[in-house]
């Protein structure tokens, strides 16, 4: 793993001593230097992936206390460990630095062994912290994702839809949803088995994703049902997207035991705001009624119960 360190001190000699000491134990791959807190903060803004900062307390323009305060005030920087450097043995000064967010301190002139040990501890803690953050992000992603299709799951879809409806109500811009159901899917499972049925579900999920924009949201609603959330999309444009998905599904092909299988999809479309729609539940209900009509009128079609306006 590449390690990047920022050293802030108004003494060129001190900075050079620190770098030479740490280079002797190969702790770091890249060293960045600054003469005061202001210069250091500018470097940090341009390099937010820095792993560790060593910062003098007493410097011109911006001292170490002010620098630490600014770093801890930003969410993208606040978890970077800061070791303060001080030539003063004052207990109160060290306590103040730690209270303001410093991770540790080293007294100048520093003992090389002590500096190496303290840097080693902070880098290890930073590595553990980064691993924990990545694990939490993976857990969050897993909790929001349907394990089979890798689309979002129903719970996350409802959260997004509720948030988007509120945003739409404030801005007045339209949001549309597509409620989609694979036609005669039970027959697929009965004929080919659930394992091959899962292949069909994954294939159709990929078709849906392929025809959506990066900021649209596709989710598995349950079983063979899918939902697409289309922000900033009026009804006529949503119908166009639905038709593309319907046509692409009809043209999709499979291999091996499924090579003779032909799949179609029925889609109900609804848009908010529209007269009579006041909530997420209303929006889903109108889309579901459109889907029901698409099924009852022969399947493999797109239906909306709302009036397209221009």
**pLDDT tens across 46-93, in order?**
998 899 999 998 888 888 889 999 999 998 898 999 999 887 777 777
| Domain extent listing, the chain | 4-142, 154-304
- Residue 98: the pLDDT is 81
Report pLDDT for 231.
95
Which whole-number Å values give the CA distances from 277 to 102, 135, 219, in the listed order?
53, 40, 22
Nearest to 103 by CA among 130, 84, 124: 84
Question: What residues pair up with 228 in beta bridges, in sequence order?
Answer: 178, 218
Predicted confidence at residue 309, as pLDDT, reads 66
Q: What is the tens place of the pLDDT at every residue in 118-162?
A: 999 999 999 888 888 888 878 877 889 999 999 999 999 999 999
Neighbouring C-alpha atoms within 13 Å toward the C-beta of 283: 26
Mean pLDDT by groups of 10 residues along the chain of 310 residues: 88 92 85 93 92 91 89 90 84 78 88 92 90 83 90 94 89 93 96 95 97 96 96 96 97 92 97 87 95 96 84
Instruction: State the Cα–Cα distance between residues 135 and 185, nearest whole angstrom.
Output: 36
How far, in Å, CA of 118 to CA of 151, rounded? 45
289 part of the active site: no
The reported pLDDT for the residue numbered 1 is 59
Rounded distance, CA 67 to CA 95, Å? 16
- Select which of 92, 114, 137, 224 is catalytic: 224
Q: Is 192 helix (H, G, I), strand (E, B) or coil?
A: helix
4-142 fold: Rossmann fold (3.40.50)
Asked whether this chain's domains 4-142 and 154-304 adopt the same fold, the reply is: no
Superfamily, domain 154-304: Reverse transcriptase/Diguanylate cyclase domain (3.30.70.270)
């Amino acid at each position: 793993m590449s390690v990047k360190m920022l050293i802030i001190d108004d003494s060129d000699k001190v900075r050079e001593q620190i770098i030479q000491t740490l280079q002797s134990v190969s702790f770091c791959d890249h060293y960045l230097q600054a003469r005061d807190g202001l210069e250091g903060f500018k470097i940090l803004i341009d390099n937010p992936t820095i792993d560790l900062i060593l910062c003098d307390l007493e410097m011109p323009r911006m001292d170490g206390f002010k620098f630490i305060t600014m770093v801890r005030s930003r969410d993208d920087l606040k978890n970077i460990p800061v070791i303060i450097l001080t030539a003063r043995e004052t207990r109160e000064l060290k306590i103040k630095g730690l209270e303001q967010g410093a991770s540790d301190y080293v007294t100048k002139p520093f003992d090389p062994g002590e500096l190496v040990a303290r840097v080693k501890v902070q880098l290890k803690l930073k590595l553990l912290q980064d691993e924990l953050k990545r694990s939490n992000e993976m857990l969050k992603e897993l909790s929001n994702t349907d394990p089979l299709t890798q689309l979002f799951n129903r719970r996350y879809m409802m959260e997004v839809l509720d948030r988007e409806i509120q945003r739409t109500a404030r801005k007045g811009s339209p949001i549309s949803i597509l409620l989609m159901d694979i036609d005669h899917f039970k027959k697929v499972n009965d004929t080919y088995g659930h394992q091959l049925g899962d292949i069909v579900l994954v294939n159709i999920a990929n078709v849906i994703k392929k025809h959506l924009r990066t900021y649209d949201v596709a989710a598995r609603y349950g079983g063979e049902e899918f939902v697409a959330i289309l922000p900033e999309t009026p009804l006529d444009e949503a119908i166009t997207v639905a038709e593309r998905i319907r046509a692409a599904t009809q043209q999709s092909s499979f291999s091996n035991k499924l090579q003779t299988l032909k799949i179609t999809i029925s889609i109900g479309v609804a848009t908010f705001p529209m007269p009579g729609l006041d909530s997420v539940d209303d929006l889903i209900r109108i889309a579901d009624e459109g889907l029901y009509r698409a099924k009852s009128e022969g399947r493999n079609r797109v239906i909306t119960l709302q009036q397209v306006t221009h």
